[in-house]
Amino acid sequence: MARHSKSGETSPAKGRGAGINIQGRFEAMSRQPEDDGWDLPEEGAPAPLTQVMEWQAKSAIARNDSPDVPFSQSVNPYQGCEHGCIYCYARPSHAYFNLSPGLDFETRLLAKTHAPQLLRRELARPGYRCEVLALGANTDPYQPIERQRRITRGILEVLAECRHPVSIVTKSALVEKDLDLLVPMAEQGLARVALSVTTLDAELARRMEPRCPSPQRRLQAIARLAGAGVPVGVLAAPVIPFLTDPELEAILKAARQAGAGFAGFVLLRLPHEVNLLFQDWLERHYPLKAAHVMSRLRQMRQGRDNDPAFGRRMTGSGEWARLLARRFDAARRRLGFAEKMAPLDRSRFKPPALDHQLALF
């Protein structure tokens, strides 16, 4: 939980992104912290530990019809993310579990333990139509708990067996541990990976993405994936006015030098509770820039903190958004990135066989 000072204000826990554990929008009861005089000194308060709970999901594949994303189906091994990125657009999804999109999102995680078995069952259905499966569309499939849980690994094993195409987005170098699966899949045109690099500034990254690998480590992962023959790209996301947008060209250049073949960007999004969490973080860490950041963002968001409209939510609108898009396009062309991602091969898919025991799952 967030720590409370004598003034009643919260202070962010060490190694965590959110400074507050705000109430989810679906909770029926509200709570108000009060100082009872027994608070520990700030430096003595223990950091909140990560708790992992089993998630008995009914299905593995989530589907969407959004025109803003290049996939129609995805698999998410985990709910919540220990990386703690303060800007994460997936934070509001924790409210559906009566958990806070604040610190709960980073410390109370749900693991979809049976996701590989569920996926196998769904891929075996007679009516299943093979489309590229996005891995990591909501929370990072290679967040730290993957080292022990290996759910993402299990999902990839099923996809490799079925020769099913997969597109992975991650901030973690942990993806390198699955090169033994990804390399053969890439050779068959079945896999690609995008590494998200938000900033090259290690100090900014530490504050904004406290449990992510450093920017340099992510660039190393790009280089290792590229060297192994896995199609790899960079996603400059989110672009934050006055904080990370001056680095856009530098991020693309560094990723290209590391071996990235394709690139993309996404403007900062502040849906639901993320808005309060991000602005609280901004005031704590960059108080002199906070007003400028939000003012520019509103100019790119139809005068609002967030614009959820299809066609605008990823890139924004208005003159500043158009300028950002032109900067990206110019850098992409100058650095030699591919204009479009090469399509993955759907023709190799072979439905998995279900043994009798699994058919009863």
Give pLDDT tens digits along the chain (361 positions): 344 333 334 456 667 877 666 665 555 555 555 444 544 445 545 667 899 999 888 899 998 877 777 788 999 999 999 999 999 999 999 998 889 999 999 999 999 999 999 999 999 999 999 999 999 888 999 999 999 999 999 999 999 999 999 999 999 999 999 999 999 999 999 999 999 999 999 999 999 999 999 999 999 999 999 999 999 999 999 999 999 999 999 999 999 999 999 999 999 999 999 999 999 999 999 999 999 999 999 999 999 999 999 889 899 999 999 999 999 999 999 999 999 899 999 999 999 987 644 544 4
State the Cα–Cα distance between residues 10 and 1, nearest whole angstrom: 10
Q: Are strands 78-79 and 73-75 parallel, antiparallel or unpaired?
A: unpaired
Torsion sign (Cα): 164, 212, 205, 46: positive
Whether residue 290 lies inside any domain: the answer is yes
Write down the pLDDT at residue 179. Answer: 98
Write down the pLDDT at residue 249. Answer: 98
Write down the pLDDT at residue 353. Answer: 84
Q: Which two tokens stand for residue 69?
A: 């994303």
Full domain range(s) for residue 319 = 51-341
Sheet of 108-111: strands edge to edge? Answer: 51-54, 108-111, 78-79
Whether residue 112 lies inside any domain: the answer is yes
State the Cα–Cα distance between residues 1 and 24, nearest whole angstrom: 14
Which CATH number goes with the domain that contains 194?
A: 3.80.30.30
Whether residue 7 lies inside any domain: the answer is no
Write down the pLDDT at residue 2. Answer: 42
State the Cα–Cα distance between residues 139 and 66, nearest whole angstrom: 18
User: Which residues have C-beta within 8 Å of that of residue 198, sequence separation ≥ 6?
Assistant: 85, 205, 208, 209, 215, 236, 237, 238, 240, 244, 251
Is residue 272 a contact partner of residue 220, using CB atoms and an 8 Å limit?
no
C-alpha 230: how far from chain center: 20
pTM of the complete model: 0.87
Whether residue 19 lies inside any domain: the answer is no
- How many domains does the chain contain in total? 1
CA distances, 289 to each of 11, 143, 200, 274 (Å): 19, 30, 19, 18
Write down the pLDDT at residue 24. Answer: 59
Write down the pLDDT at residue 43. Answer: 52
Whether residue 243 lies inside any domain: the answer is yes
Amino acid at 226: A
User: Which residues have C-beta within 8 Å of that of residue 62, sequence separation ≥ 6?
Assistant: 73, 74, 75, 76, 137, 138
Minimal CA–CA distance to 204: which of 194, 215, 217?
215
